[in-house]
Amino acid sequence: MVVTGHRIDVPLDWNEPSGRQISVHAREVVAAEHAGDASRPAIVWFQGGPGHEVAFPDHRGSWLEQLLTRYRVLLLDQRGTGLSTPLEARSLPVSDPVALGDYLRNFRQDSIVRDADRFRTTLYGKDTDWYIFGQSFGGFCSLTYLSTLPEHVRGVIITGGFAPVLHETEEICRRLFNHVATRNADYYARFPGDAARVRRIVDHLESGNEVDGHGLRLSARRFLMLGVKLGLQHGAAELHGIIERADNDLEQLHVLSGVVHAHVAGTMSPATNPIYTVLHEAAYSNGPATRWAAERARLADPRYALDAQPVPYFTGEAVFPWMLDEVRELQPLRDVANVLAEHDGWPALYDIPRLRANKVPVVGTVYWDDEYVERTMALETVSLLGNCRPWITNEYEHGAYRVDPARVAGRLFSMLDDLTARG
């Protein structure tokens, strides 16, 4: 494959195009055998997130290989990630939390899609059409793109990212926690012996001073965030292995091993990205302040209480305010995160009438047991979106495009071609 880096300058605030500028980077990837074929259509890749960067494409494989059979692939480093003007908690661009909040409010989907469209016009010409691929949060970006700039979009593929466009953050978090509770029930039905193990681990973490090799204390509520693994293809088995190891550690060592601490740290690693931490809930808001909706949903559901019997439930993907105290890497973001949680008046991310009237062919997956994008809200979005054909499946979890890329791609490409042919 041929990989070419591109960088453009864009407004920090698209409402002030002549104001402060930042840079956005993207890599165009073309199959070597098609490098000279300028007629191959382009597709922009919207990464999951928010705030996750796209790794350098070090080989032809997985989903990228499938896309290269049909497209020139533009791997966009969404603003603030990768080689775009970066954000790092240890080197924030503004010290005052209110001013920093004003800066960071420009890093949601509405800005990301405008950056992408600027790349379209810069690289391919203002009248050139292209395709969109959105994985997870990238699907949210895709729907914002269709809401604001659909004129040059030929088709859209969304995997596990049909955003809950009809609901606000409060309701979304409440439903997600209720759904994650069903995943917990399924987990303990599959591994019934883990209820006693988790109870022992939680009691140990609450009563003792369990610290890792760096002297940082591990709390029970942070340990229970391992529940994010329940949304992976083999995540329940992986979680069971960690629980077995942790219980064995307590039995023989009376402390948790470095291996277990490393699993928890790995689960927390996405949160060390500033955008993920401070805009995770804002990525759902079409106006109202989020006010730490996930934490309020957790506290309101007794199944997640640390003293719940027989065992507290694991939490899923969420950002909680106490993480900004407990995780050293996040502490510089504490004040601005609170500022943004109280911000009222976010711009709308979606144009519902325009989505209903959409004519652009859209295909995608809705995973029946998806832990991260709750299915009933995803299906509502599918139902309202014009010219959309979903593949609703319980065969896969959220990351199916990596687990079985050839089959998933083949199915979605066929659906997109059929929907396009029907006009």
What is the number of other CB atoms lying within 10 angstroms of the CB of residue 420?
14
270 plus 377 within the same structural domain: no
pTM over 0.75: yes
What is the number of other CB atoms lying within 10 angstroms of the CB of residue 214?
8
Domain holding 119, by residue range, is 2-165+349-421
When pLDDT is cut at 50, 70 and 90, the band that residue 38 belongs to is: confident
Boundary (domain end) residue, out of 293, 318, 341: 341
Output the domain CATH number for residue 359. Answer: 3.40.50.1820
Boundary (domain end) residue, out of 293, 325, 341: 341
**What's the pLDDT score for residue 215?**
85
Q: Is 370 a catalytic residue?
A: yes
158 plus 238 within the same structural domain: no
Asked if the model's pLDDT at residue 161 lies above 80, the reply is: yes
Buried/exposed code over 385-408 (b: 16+ C-beta within 10 A; e: otherwise): bebbbbbeeeebbbbbbebbbeeb
194 plus 225 within the same structural domain: yes
8 plus 101 within the same structural domain: yes
Task: Give the separation between CA 248 and CA 243, rounded to whole angstroms.
Answer: 8
**pLDDT tens-digit series, residues 179-230:** 999 999 999 999 999 999 999 999 999 998 899 888 889 999 999 999 999 9
- Say which of 77, 194, 249, 370 is annotated catalytic: 370
Q: Are 64 and 72 within 8 A, CB to CB? A: no
DSSP annotation string for 99-119 = HHHHHHTT-SHHHHHHHHHHH
The total number of structural domains in the chain stands at 2
Q: Which residue, 96, 92, 111, 108, is CA-closest to 16?
A: 111
**pLDDT tens-digit series, residues 364-423:** 999 999 999 999 999 999 999 999 999 999 999 999 999 999 999 999 999 999 999 987
**pLDDT tens-digit series, residues 116-143:** 999 999 999 999 999 999 999 999 999 9
Mean pLDDT of 299-308: 97
- Say which of 136, 147, 219, 285 is annotated catalytic: 136
Rounded alpha-carbon distances, angstroms, from residue 186 to 179, 180, 330 = 11, 10, 32
270 plus 324 within the same structural domain: yes
**pLDDT tens-digit series, residues 231-288:** 999 999 999 999 999 999 999 999 999 999 999 998 877 777 899 999 999 999 999 9
Task: Give the separation between CA 237 and CA 214, rounded to whole angstroms.
Answer: 28
35 plus 119 within the same structural domain: yes
